[in-house]
Structure 1
Amino acid sequence: MSYNFEIIGITPILTFFNYQQELEINPQRSKTYLGSYQCTLDSFIDSTQMIPKKPQWNWDEVVETMINFWLKHEDSIRHWKIELESSQENALVIGRIANLECLRAELEQAFEA
């Protein structure tokens, strides 16, 4: 399998947790979201342990994908660190992990309908 990781924004804690409770109940989904109080690689890796109904993915590959993102996107990471520091106190930086094979299958199914 192949995965994609990216940082997508900043949101209040309650918004993120409500979203996780409502929309991330399907363990067969193509993507999942991570929230962290800090914009660091360690904090995002740690946040994978907090995913409700964790998908049946190769989590070693997911972590490797996150590490590769961290090595290649210094400007983006710096941007989100600054955004998080200047945001309200009760905010999280949000990252998205996508299982590219599952996402492709979902898109193909959507276009067939």
Structure 2
Amino acid sequence: MTYCFDIVGIAPVLDFFYYQQKVEQSPHRSKAYLGSYECTLDSFIQSTEMILQKPDWNWDQVIESIIDFWLHQEKEIEKWRSSFTKTKEEILIIGRIANVNLLRRDFDSLI
């Protein structure tokens, strides 16, 4: 399986957890969202432990995709880090991890 990671935004803590409880119930979903209080590699890796209903994925490969993003997207990370440090305390930075094969299936079902 192939996975991809990206930072997608900033959200209030309660909104993020409400979303996780409401939407992320299926272990066969194509993506999962990670919330972190810090814009660091370590904090995003640790946030994989906090997913309420973990999809049935290869989590070692998920971690590798987060590391790969951190090694190759320095400008993107700095942009988000700068935006995130200007926010209030009750805010999380949100990353999205996607299972590329399942995401492709989701897109194909729309056609």
Q: Deviation of residue 15 (structure 1)?
A: 0.7
Q: For residue 83 of structure 1, report the CA deviation from its aligned partner.
A: 1.0
- 1:81: Cα distance to partner? 1.0
Q: CA deviation at 1:32?
A: 0.3
Q: What does residue 27 of structure 2 align with?
A: 27
| 1:108, distance to aligned residue in structure 2 (A) | 1.1
Q: Distance in 2 between matches of 1:13 and 1:87?
A: 12
The TM-score with structure 2 as length reference comes to: 0.97
Deviation at 1:101, TM superposition (A): 0.2
SS in 1 for 2:98: strand
The Cα of 1:66 is off from its aligned counterpart by: 0.5
Letter paired with 1:97:
I
Distance 1:87 1:54 in 2: 29
Moved more, 39-48 or 76-85: 76-85
Alpha-carbon distance between aligned partners in 2 of 1:106 and 1:18, rounded to the nearest angstrom: 23
Identity %: 53
1:109 — aligned with what?
Answer: 109
Q: Secondary structure at the match of 1:107?
A: helix
Superposition deviation, residue 82 in structure 1: 1.1
| AA of the residue aligned to 1:85 | T
The aligned length equals 111
Give the unaligned 5+ runs of structure 2: none
Separation (CA, whole Å) in 1 of partners of 2:109 and 2:12? 33
Shift >3 Å, 4+ stretches: none
- Look up the SS of the partner of 1:33 in the other structure: strand
Q: How large is the RMSD of aligned CA atoms in angstroms?
A: 0.6
Q: After TM superposition, give the deviation of residue 20 of structure 1 in Å.
A: 0.5
Q: Displacement, 1:14?
A: 0.6
By how many angstroms is 1:97 displaced? 0.3
1:93 is matched with which residue?
A: 93
Matches of 1:78 and 1:107 in 2, distance apart? Answer: 30
1:72 matched to 2:72: yes
Look up the SS of the partner of 1:95 in the other structure. strand
